[in-house]
């Protein structure tokens, strides 16, 4: 039984944030979705707007927020390379100023706060799979560093607030996640390939397609976030959340072509700068501390995502 809480979700109009809002409202919590709609869209939460448990607040968390709540999920930040490189300064401000503002709020109102961190804190890893104890290998001045270093700095701030002010913190390191409501043009592997396959356009693979990723379906990921939030105070994280089953980019492309019955051909292009060769979470900590592991197989998750994009393209 969940005791009903007042929960703030920053970035609540985004892909992950909107699914998290759904889950919390379904559990009977009062949810305040905070978003400036820089990359998120109101379309993602439209079905919640009439729900008495749900409230939408248009606000940029790089500015302070004064609000009452029991829990804060800090999900706000552009999360795909196309989005975060569009305005790198705003990206780092969202990660750093945003974290300072949300931590300040949590401290004032004595709320528990969760940071949506990222596997990008590991950079291009020399250790595989990546455990939470690995410190990472990140280029501090590269094209992706506005995101990588912004998220690393946010983790620093969370732990400093925890040590200095005894704030109740949770830090989740999120690995590749996919599912309905992904932005069709955000340049991520799954959404890119699905949109290209449905339009029968060539499927573009950067590099030779042998680089690997692990893909977690959004429902599984949200389940991990909620479990982390309600776990005991001494479980601060950082905790990896993601799917440890690894696929090459080429395998994903071939699977999507098969599932959509598309006639798309695969074309290869040069690999972008600082693109990690492999990414795979070690989730033994999440299994042990949260009794969490992903349950949705890739094929089922892809089918649900394809049907979402199919509808989206039809409505356009």
Quick one: tokens of 203?
């499927």
- Is residue 169 a contact partner of residue 110, using CB atoms and an 8 Å limit? no
Q: Following CA atoms 311, 188, 81, 286 in sequence, which dihedral angle do they give, to the nearest 10 degrees?
A: 110
Count Cα neighbours of 242 within 13 Å in the Cβ-side half-sphere.
Answer: 28
- Is residue 25 a contact partner of residue 51, using CB atoms and an 8 Å limit? yes
Q: For residue 232, count other CB atoms closer than 10 A to its CB.
A: 6
Of 73, 122, 147, 161, the active-site residue reads 147
Q: For residue 224, count other CB atoms closer than 10 A to its CB.
A: 23
Has 147 been annotated as catalytic? yes
| CA geometry: angle 230, 236, 241, nearest 5 deg | 75
Residue 308's nearest CA partner among 108, 78, 15, 29 is: 15
- Is residue 171 a contact partner of residue 157, using CB atoms and an 8 Å limit? no
Could you tell me the end-to-end alpha-carbon distance of the chain, in angstroms, rounded to an integer?
A: 42
Query: Hey, which residues are catalytic here?
Result: 147
């Amino acid at each position: 039984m969940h005791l009903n809480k007042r929960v703030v979700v920053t970035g609540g109009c985004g892909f992950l944030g909107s699914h998290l809002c759904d889950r919390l409202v379904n559990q009977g919590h009062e949810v305040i979705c905070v978003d400036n709609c820089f990359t998120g869209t109101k379309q993602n939460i439209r079905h919640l707007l009439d729900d008495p448990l749900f409230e939408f607040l248009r606000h940029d968390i790089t500015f302070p927020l004064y609000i009452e709540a029991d829990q804060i999920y800090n999900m706000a930040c552009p999360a795909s390379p196309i989005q975060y490189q569009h305005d790198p300064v705003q990206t780092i401000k969202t990660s750093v100023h945003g974290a300072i503002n949300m931590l300040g709020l949590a401290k004032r109102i004595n709320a528990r706060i969760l940071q949506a961190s990222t596997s990008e804190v590991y950079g291009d890893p020399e250790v595989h799979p990546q455990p939470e104890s690995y410190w990472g290998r990140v280029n501090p001045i590269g094209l992706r560093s506005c995101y990588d270093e912004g998220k690393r700095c946010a983790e620093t701030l969370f732990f400093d607030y925890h040590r200095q002010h005894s704030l109740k913190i949770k830090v989740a390191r999120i690995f590749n996640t996919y599912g309905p409501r992904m932005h069709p043009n955000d340049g991520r592997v799954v959404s890119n390939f699905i949109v290209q396959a449905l339009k029968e356009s060539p499927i573009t693979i950067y590099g030779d397609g042998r680089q690997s990723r692990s893909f977690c379906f959004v429902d599984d990921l949200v389940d991990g976030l909620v479990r982390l939030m309600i776990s005991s105070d001494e479980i601060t994280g950082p905790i990896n959340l993601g799917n440890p089953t690894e696929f090459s980019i080429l395998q994903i492309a071939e699977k999507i072509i098969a599932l959509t019955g598309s006639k798309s051909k695969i074309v290869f292009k040069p690999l972008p700068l600082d693109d990690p060769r492999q990414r795979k979470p070690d989730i033994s900590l999440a299994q042990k501390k949260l009794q969490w592991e992903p349950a949705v197989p890739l094929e089922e998750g892809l089918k649900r995502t394809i049907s979402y994009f199919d509808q989206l393209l039809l409505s356009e």
